[in-house]
Structure 1
């Protein structure tokens, strides 16, 4: 970063916070978007333990910006702020999302920031949760500069936002989505997003996951939304075998949902898209590893289709 003369670095923690390599950085602003149960073998079994690990990135003299937190994490955030004697901006108190309305290709939002209110901001991402993420991001940047942002510059920057692998639409015939949701909470948000933005579709799901995940808890959120499911495994030593994913899916979704086992994410994506037909919906999810493998395959199929159409 020093060699590149970076003016502002946004450094995302890889796992937890306290013991993550990124914690060598002393950030002027620390951001905690939320806390949920994941990586429990490493971070702890309770929300309080996980929050403690994550809040370790908060340093003396910094400003803490928090998104919506469960009570256990909220208590730890207050304790950490008091311990360090620092400023905190809390979602719903010091800043908030005023309004969010569905628009073509995304959301139109109004945000009450720490220093200013920003209206009619178009966010070209899917998923209502992204509007809350945007509010957190706005508060974080305001905190960095210690002032309001230029509304025009904000709208221009947000309009150019992308979020690869996060409820990302790759194609429309069939509607093809890749999403990196990989825990029970994430699947709950994913299910809500599908209901809200694509309510009429029955989905063909390509699903793979890693070994520390609550498969049953994840898949239960898909009940009533899935026509068929292709169980697979990404390339990882921690991947859950496809046959195990399929077994849990059959148990949770019932006999009305077709469940197949497919070796490899690429093959599962190709079979899933072929099975869905042009008017269906396909989503590859369950792990960032699945998203990472599925995304280039989906994009290559789009290019092949557009090339064939030109011919």
Structure 2
């Protein structure tokens, strides 16, 4: 089967919509001998910032010499972006092999999974085959009933919560945060990047012992360098030149930084690696002359963050938005 045909078949599972629950994915994982338990898991949820936080952690852990898998969604250009091992997108050949394995398992177990459940099962298998040390997993939606939640997060990160996917997750911050707090397990070290009272009230129902980076690092300073499009972040004597640009990236960086410190990664490695992070369509400079920026902001919170950056440097009549 050609890769295009194969992906068309895989996408056809989207017809089964979004089904929140862990029953299907658990059955598939059990069938394969629980590949999701074969590596340490850093589990990340939140309304915005999941991908940036995941990619900072991935880049630093690779710099530190670990074998790392990263799972994100949705993809921007091609499906392969969703599943990465050791800094490289999964190959078409590996997609085909894994899809065939999962498809056969689904037949034998006799279930009707969704597109995201099939893709997540492929990812768990791939990371086990690649023998990664760490799997950095971005939640697809919510947390508690997301297919990624059959894993046991050593570190659980909740970046923030704003109103999004309210038809599935709840109509207010507290209810949505409660769904996202579902990724917190008994053994999880919990890191959050939001100081909304309703958000924190929900998180504390799951665990009292958490690190809120907004509180812990409230004395840091930062600067947006519009010439080089880097975010300069100062923590005490240390300066980090983050290659992701924007005020909102500071909290994403702090969530990642706290997780990396928890894993014992040295400052020098973090400093070196954060200047090399690449995450497409997050205030990504596509060309310099004229300046063209690609930005994937897709909800109110994301648009407000984009507006905040633009207002710092540009006049309204200098900006064309497509």
Task: Give your verdict on TM over 0.5.
Answer: yes
Q: 1:97 offset after TM fit, Å?
A: 6.2
Task: Give the alignment of 1:52-201 within 5 angstroms.
Answer: 52-82=178-208, 87-96=209-218, 98-103=220-225, 104-111=228-235, 119-143=238-262, 145=263, 147=264, 149-199=265-315
Report the Cα distance in structure 1 between the residues aligned to 2:173 and 2:188, rounded to whole angstroms: 23
Q: Deviations over 1:231-252 (max 9, x none)?
A: xxxxxxxxxxxxxxxxxxxxxx
Preserved contact between residue 195 and residue 212 of structure 2 (Cα < 8 Å): no
Greater percentage in helix: 2
Task: Give the alignment of 1:195-210 within 5 angstroms.
Answer: 195-199=311-315, 202-206=318-322
Q: 1:142 offset after TM fit, Å?
A: 1.8
Preserved contact between residue 214 and residue 251 of structure 2 (Cα < 8 Å): no
Moved more, 71-80 or 191-200: 191-200
Q: 1:118 offset after TM fit, Å?
A: 6.1
Unaligned runs of 5+ in 2: 1-126
Question: What corresponds to 1:296 in structure 2?
Answer: none
Question: What corresponds to 2:132 in structure 1?
Answer: 6
Q: 1:95 offset after TM fit, Å?
A: 3.7
Q: 1:204 offset after TM fit, Å?
A: 1.9
What is the RMSD computed on CA atoms of the aligned residues?
Answer: 1.7
Report the Cα distance in structure 1 between the residues aligned to 2:214 and 2:163, rounded to whole angstroms: 22
Q: Which has the higher contact order (CA 8 A, sep 6+)?
A: 2
Report the Cα distance in structure 2 between the residues aligned to 1:18 and 1:118, rounded to whole angstroms: 39
Moved more, 38-47 or 166-175: 166-175
Q: Normalising by the residue count of structure 2, what TM-score does the alignment of the two structures yield?
A: 0.57
Report the Cα distance in structure 1 between the residues aligned to 2:234 and 2:315, rounded to whole angstroms: 24
**Structure 1 residue 36 corresponds to structure 2 residue 158:** no
Preserved contact between residue 67 and residue 91 of structure 1 (Cα < 8 Å): yes
- 1:25–1:97 distance in 2 versus 1, CA, 3 Å: farther
Structure with max Cα Rg: 1
Preserved contact between residue 43 and residue 50 of structure 1 (Cα < 8 Å): yes
Question: What corresponds to 2:4 in structure 1?
Answer: none
Alignment size in residue pairs: 194
Question: What corresponds to 2:173 in structure 1?
Answer: 47
Structure 2 residue matching 1:52: 3-state secondary structure:
helix
Report the Cα distance in structure 2 between the residues aligned to 1:118 and 1:80, rounded to whole angstroms: 35
Report the Cα distance in structure 2 between the residues aligned to 1:93 and 1:11, rounded to whole angstroms: 25
Q: 1:137 offset after TM fit, Å?
A: 0.5
Unaligned runs of 5+ in 1: 112-116, 207-311
Structure 2 residue matching 1:191: 3-state secondary structure:
helix
Q: 1:199 offset after TM fit, Å?
A: 4.5
Q: 1:174 offset after TM fit, Å?
A: 2.3
Report the Cα distance in structure 2 between the residues aligned to 1:166 and 1:18, rounded to whole angstroms: 27
Report the Cα distance in structure 1 between the residues aligned to 2:239 and 2:206, rounded to whole angstroms: 35
